[in-house]
Amino acid sequence: MTLTERLDYYRKLTEQALEQALTSKNEAYYPSVFKAVRYSALSGGKRLRPALTMEFCRVCGGTPEQALPFAAALEMIHTYSLIHDDLPCMDDDDLRRGRPTNHKVFGEATAVLAGDALLNRAFETVLSPQNTRGLSAETVLRAASCLARASGMDGMIGGQILDMESEGRQISQETLMLLQRHKTGCLMQAAATMGCILAGRGDAATLEAAECYADNLGLAFQIEDDLLDIEGDITKFGKPIGSDAEKGKATFPVLLGIARCRELVRELTDKAVAAAAAFPDHAFLEELAVYLVSRDY
Amino acid sequence: MTLTERLDYYRKLTEQALEQALTSKNEAYYPSVFKAVRYSALSGGKRLRPALTMEFCRVCGGTPEQALPFAAALEMIHTYSLIHDDLPCMDDDDLRRGRPTNHKVFGEATAVLAGDALLNRAFETVLSPQNTRGLSAETVLRAASCLARASGMDGMIGGQILDMESEGRQISQETLMLLQRHKTGCLMQAAATMGCILAGRGDAATLEAAECYADNLGLAFQIEDDLLDIEGDITKFGKPIGSDAEKGKATFPVLLGIARCRELVRELTDKAVAAAAAFPDHAFLEELAVYLVSRDY
């Protein structure tokens, strides 16, 4: 399979699992929350985190399918964080992936509950015995614990708080790194390490290599994203100020300059590629690291 | 131990566990979210759900302490639901347990994240291997799965959606029962059944008796609460309209009349007491059912 074929395959598996996890017999009694969660969870997106989980499971000797409940759970957590981030009291965004944000369509109260429901459903999904047949209870527990830590106050939510509190303030490169490593890095790392754990390869050296890959890939992707936010706007609006800067958010180009950012993206990508070499059959992981900062997608 | 001595004992255990679960080394980097979660999670309350979990664990042959992480998790989930319920876009309440609500003190954005953080921390707590030493992975997984189902879209969150959508509308007694059984009943039932599971008594008959107890206790307590909302106001404000009615919320007294509600509270309490008889050493469970509708606390 080529890179995009495999990404497509993982995306389809993820979307099928999401469809299945986000339906219920209770929909007859209160349809709105189910409509709201599906609206956001099934609105496209790269499905990068699920792809990492399934691919790390595969290169560690498992099947992508045995990691699927965890892959879908990651995407639910990612989606809930976007719904809550977009709320008027947070980033107050009207558009997400080219469509009106959840609260614009369903109202703020339903959007708050839809976010809560997705976070909760992520844990329901990985803890449901039907979804994890063939895995030992110890394995499921270890992977679920990894997911819970990564998405909580010491992980993603910590990054969201740092992000919110940094708005309109001068922050250092160290703080911005800490912010990004929490806000997006922790979940990326969990995506990779959960894949290894679910394949039965939870030894320290394997997890360290997987974390190193995900950490560098995630940071490279974030810096590239910041660059696009500036350079995309130069082309489009003829002014070097992107939406992040407008919101008073610190970005890597503002702190480090464009040239240093480009260099950093290359360095981080090289580190991710080097970390991938610890795994057999690592062509996809290598190509993915390069592809994500290539702007060709 | 008397009823209140045991309730006090369970409350102290719960609050110690909450204190411990809601601190982190990351507090140095972003203190606000930790302050916000502790503000709401450690602001008193009966700690009824944790007491049920620990007591059911005890009467099923376990120790209250082995159920403690799950007891604390229940309280975190209960607390997060209150924080989000109080938000301006939801019930828009300024006071909770006699203190300003979370968003009044910390702002809406932090309150949204603090709620998210508590929900997430509940799962971190029960999935952390340090917290569940001495329990098998199967047992932890089964109890955690029970918790996740009860708090999700098919449980508590479903009840919150029903509650929100019923505001200002005529609803039937059946819908109000469905609403309450989801909004508070599911978590009560999970409190009881998790206690049994954690003690190693997860057989169908035991769980059914525990569910029956919790279901009837929860509903009796809710109807009593509705009665107090009316009768408390008669004394205080000289008018028979409580805050629920003011918000256009359907309540049992409005639908059934005060006399029928009083009768129903007695019937439900009797059913809870009868269900408790299935357990050895059930004096506390019996007394608790009577105490919760006695208004003497």
pTM of the model: 0.96
Cα distances (Å, whole numbers) of residue A244 to A167, A267, B269: 10, 24, 57
Say if A121 is an interface residue toward chain B (CB within 8 Å): yes
pLDDT, tens digit, for every residue of B28-87?
999 999 999 999 999 988 999 999 999 999 999 999 999 999 999 999 999 999 999 999
Say if A116 is an interface residue toward chain B (CB within 8 Å): yes
In chain A, residues with a C-beta closer than 8 Å to the C-beta of B109 are 87, 89-90, 164
In chain A, residues with a C-beta closer than 8 Å to the C-beta of B23 are none
CA-wise closest residue to A268 among A209, A225, A192, A214: A214
In chain B, residues with a C-beta closer than 8 Å to the C-beta of A29 are 158, 162, 178
Say if A167 is an interface residue toward chain B (CB within 8 Å): no
- Please report how many Cα atoms fall inside a 13 Å half-sphere around the Cα of residue A178, on the Cβ side: 16
In tens digits, chain A (297 residues) has pLDDT values of 999 999 999 999 999 999 999 999 999 999 999 999 999 999 988 999 999 999 999 999 999 999 999 999 999 999 999 999 999 999 999 999 889 999 999 999 999 999 999 999 999 999 999 999 999 999 999 999 999 999 999 999 999 999 999 888 889 999 999 999 999 999 999 999 999 999 999 999 999 999 999 999 999 999 998 998 887 655 544 444 566 767 778 889 999 999 999 999 999 999 999 999 999 999 999 999 999 998 655
| Minimum Cα–Cα distance from A151: chain B residue | B120
From the list B33, B37, B164, the residue facing A109 with the nearest CB is B164
Contact: B154, A29; criterion CB under 8 Å:
no
In chain A, residues with a C-beta closer than 8 Å to the C-beta of B165 are 30, 32
Question: CA–CA separation, A241 vs B282, rounded Å?
Answer: 68
Average pLDDT over residues B158-183: 92
Cα distances (Å, whole numbers) of residue A154 to A185, B15, B75: 12, 21, 20
pLDDT at B102 over 70: yes
Burial (0-12, 13-18, 19+ Cβ within 10 Å), A35: middle
Contact: A121, B37; criterion CB under 8 Å:
no
Place of tokens 């991710």: A272
The continuous run of DSSP H or E covering A181 comes out as none
pLDDT, tens digit, for every residue of B142-154?
999 999 999 999 9
Contact: A90, B84; criterion CB under 8 Å:
no
CA-wise closest residue to A241 among A129, A250, A231, A221: A231
